[in-house]
Structures are given as C-alpha cells and as structure tokens.
Amino acid sequence: MSSALAPCPVFIDGEWRTLSGLPTTPVFNPSTGDVIAECPVGGAAEVEAAVQAAHAAFPAWSETPAVERARVFFRYRQLVEKNFDRICQTVSREHGKTLGEARGSVYRGLENIEYACGVPTLLFGDTLENLARGVDCETLLQPLGVCVGITPFNFPAMVPLWMYPLALACGNTFVLKPSEKVPLTALLLGELLVEAGIPKGVFNIVHGGRAAVDALLTHPKVRAVSFVGSSPIAKYIYETGTRHGKRVQANGGAKNYLVIMPDADIPKTVEALSTAAFGCAGERCMAGSTAITVGAAAERLLPSLVEAARAIKVGPTDRPAQPDMGPVITAQHRERVLGLVASGEKEGAKVIADGRGVKVPDAPRGFYLGATIVDGVERTMTLAREEVFGPVLNVMRQDDLDRAIEITNASAFGNGAAIFTNSGRAAREFKHRVKAGMVGINVGVPATMAMFPFTGWDDSFYGDLHIQGREAVQFYTQQKVITTRWFGEGVGDVWKK
C-alpha cells in the first residue's frame, strides 16, 4: 500500500471531500499490478452525512418538473459522449478490460442515460373517464425519496449507470457506493453529472465495506436499494434491506449454459462462445461458463473452439497495442480461479486448452490468466456448481436436448441461457422450457438493452422489479390512484329515465 497516494474523495452535499484518518484499501492497475489509488473505508458517519444530504435535497428535486430533470440528463449524455475515451481509459486502467470491452460497456451505460432522458413519457399515468357515473379515475407515478446503489467491480461505468440516471430522472435522490476496487470511474462519472447541473445533495458518492453497506441498508431515510454482485451478498442485501422496510432489487451471480446442437453453424458458434466465455476475462454475470454439446456437436465444435482459445492474446490493456483479453481484477481472484480449475482436474475433468501458465513478459506483475477450456465436466463437480468469474469454459457432453435442458434447469442460478442451432423446433423447445430470465438463440450473451429489464431468475436475483426498462421505472416510483367526483346540477346523480 502506498502512503504517497491521497485517498479517493467522497462526494457529499455537493462537495468533494478528502477524508483523513480512515483506513484505505489499494486500487490496482490489474495490467501491471501497481497501486494507482487508495480508497477510504468509510462507515456509518459518511453514510449518515450522504443520506441526510440526499433527504434534504429530495423535496425540491422531486418537485422539479420531469422535463427539467430530463434536460439535466440530455446535458449529461453530451458530457459522457464528449469524455467517452477518457471514461473508457479509466475503466481499462482500474479494471483491466480491453479498450474495446470498455467502450462496449460505456455505450451500454450511455443507453441508460438516453432512456432516462425520456422520463416525461415514462412517468405517464392512466386515466379513465366515467369510471362510474360522474366519477373519473387517474394514476400518478411519484418518486420514493432517497435511493441507494451498491455496485460491483466488473463494470465500473455500466452498472452504476443502470441505476442512478433513471432513479434521479424519476425524481429521487441518490447515494452511490461503488466497489472499493474500482472507485475512479464512478468519481469521474460523478464529476460529469455535477457539470451537467445536478443540484446540491441530489447525488452523493461514498466509499466503504460492510459497515458502510449495513449503514445504508438500515438507515431509516433510505427508501430503495439497488445492488449487483455475488449471490450470497445479494441475498444478504435483500434480506437485510427488506427487513428494514426498503424496496430492494439485488442481482446476484450466475452459471450460464450454452447448448450447442449438432446442426449449429460451427464458425459462428465458436465466435459466439469465445466472446461469451472469455470476453471481459469471464468477469461478468452473463458470461457463458458452461457449454453443453449435444450428440455429434462435440466433435464438430471442440477442435475449432480449442484453437480459438489458444489464439487469444493476453496482455496489458493500458497501452496502445491492445490484446484480445486483459487480466483479472486481483492476484487473489486469480488464485481462486486457478483453484477451481485444479479442483475440476482432481475430480476427473480434463483441461484441453490451458491458460494457467500464460506469461506476459512486458507486464510480469499483472494478474493474468489465459483462456481455459475444461472438458468432461460433470454437474456434481465444484467447477460446475460455483461461479468461476474468470476466463474458464466448462464442457459437458449430452446425448439429447431434453437432457441438456434438464441440466440447465437444475442450476440454482437463472440469469441467462443460450442455444446454438439451425432448427426452429429445437430453438422453440429450448426457449419455452429453459428456466432462465434471459435467453439467447444463436446469441451467446443475451444481455438486454436499456429499454428491456435485466431479468435474472432464482439465485441470480432477489426482489420483484428488475433493473432497467419499465420495471426499473416501477421500482423507482410509487403509484397513486386518484378517484374524483364533482357535484353540480345533473353531475354525479344517478341517471333516471
């Protein structure tokens, strides 16, 4: 840990504050292993200040016309686009994504800002004239109050942008707690939001670990909590938040299955599987972590897939010459992934593309793993049951589609699933029967765009209303129903012949 680096600031009540006297955690550049920043480990005091600021700002912001709130996000969109390369470079530097992957993730975040710009129409209610004789009825969508976002390390820009633009556009105020592993992108996005004209106290950023999270989950003035992270923590967030009267949407981990039928287009399938399994170094909840080959598909697919995995160039992502895949987030996480691959070997699986010994001579201290494929995985193995969150693809071999669907549905998770086939009948059978919230047909990563909800099921999601789309508008608002009756001559009286 470097004492020469000042701790990252917090943003509370319209002020950037550098906190002294708190412990800090190092922020690494995963490509080099160097410490590039220190993140303060805040707690209840910082949370209290941020929530109180957001609570105080809520009345004026919630009464700001939706059109005016939307204009803030039109300006914000322009600023994010203007600073697009700077944001992507920050994502790449503190996370390790390639610049191409960073660009893709920031574009997805930008789409959520664009969706928030449409909030005047998203907040339309319903009306019915003459619900009864002389009685009219209407609905209104009104903001909740102080909302909270607790975000993970794997998408430093995209996941926060899933949350606060729409929450704020709906008239709420917000406290963001980004991952302590990747705080720099969140701070940059916050600076741009201030430049766009967000009023004092409406948006706040705090840092910290469990103490800060617990303070947010239990604070009486917090109305709603959005979370993305691992399933055990998602369950804890949901149970703790709801126990304290919060509305909670908690997105967890996944074990996404990719079923390859014998009639699949092999070159296209290899391309899709490589992206799904090894894109972003496998560090995403929509990663395709298990391929189930049906019948003769294994013999057609695996030689080309292994060749493609071995051809993936691994290297530092903070330089002009870009690799195909960057590092994982920390040395500790790399060791965890290596341990899971070793457990698969120990339990009888075979590594057919081995990226464990990858060397990067010009960045020897980076946290690198190469693309790895493990064949002969059985559903009882640790490697098959746990989310690896690294560049590792399991291969299971089955005789028919029924068995492939059965194995997919036996998973405790339910984020995504995909099938690769040229058969409309097989595709229809799969999409109808598979138990997952997001389904791809010849699409390896069926992640949705801003106007559709991110619909994890089972242990991949805890809550009722999902992130993104109309469900997110419902999550960040409460509905009011107004029934009106006016009296006057011939009005409201029972009609008589």
DSSP β-bridge partners for residue 226: 149, 249
Write down the pLDDT at residue 490.
Answer: 60
Write down the pLDDT at residue 4.
Answer: 67
Is there a common fold for 10-252+460-482 and 256-441? no
Structure tokens at 452: 């559709």
Contacts of 487 (CB under 8 A, 6+ apart): none
Q: Are strands 372-375 and 392-398 parallel, antiparallel or unpaired?
A: parallel
pLDDT digits (tens, 9 = 90+) for 293-338: 999 999 999 999 999 999 999 999 999 999 999 999 999 999 999 9
What residue spans define the domains of the chain?
Answer: 10-252+460-482, 256-441
So which residues are the catalytic ones? 285
Residue ranges, the chain, pLDDT below 50: 1-3, 497
Write down the pLDDT at residue 491.
Answer: 56
pLDDT digits (tens, 9 = 90+) for 370-406: 999 999 999 999 999 999 999 999 999 999 999 999 9
CA angle 232, 273, 115 (to 5 degrees): 65
d(CA 487, CA 356): 79
CATH of domain 10-252+460-482: 3.40.605.10
- The verdict on domain 256-441 having CATH code 3.40.309.10 is yes
Chain-centre distance for alpha carbon 172: 20
Report phi then psi at 317, rounded to 5.
Answer: -105, 0
CB 370 within 8 A of CB 313: no
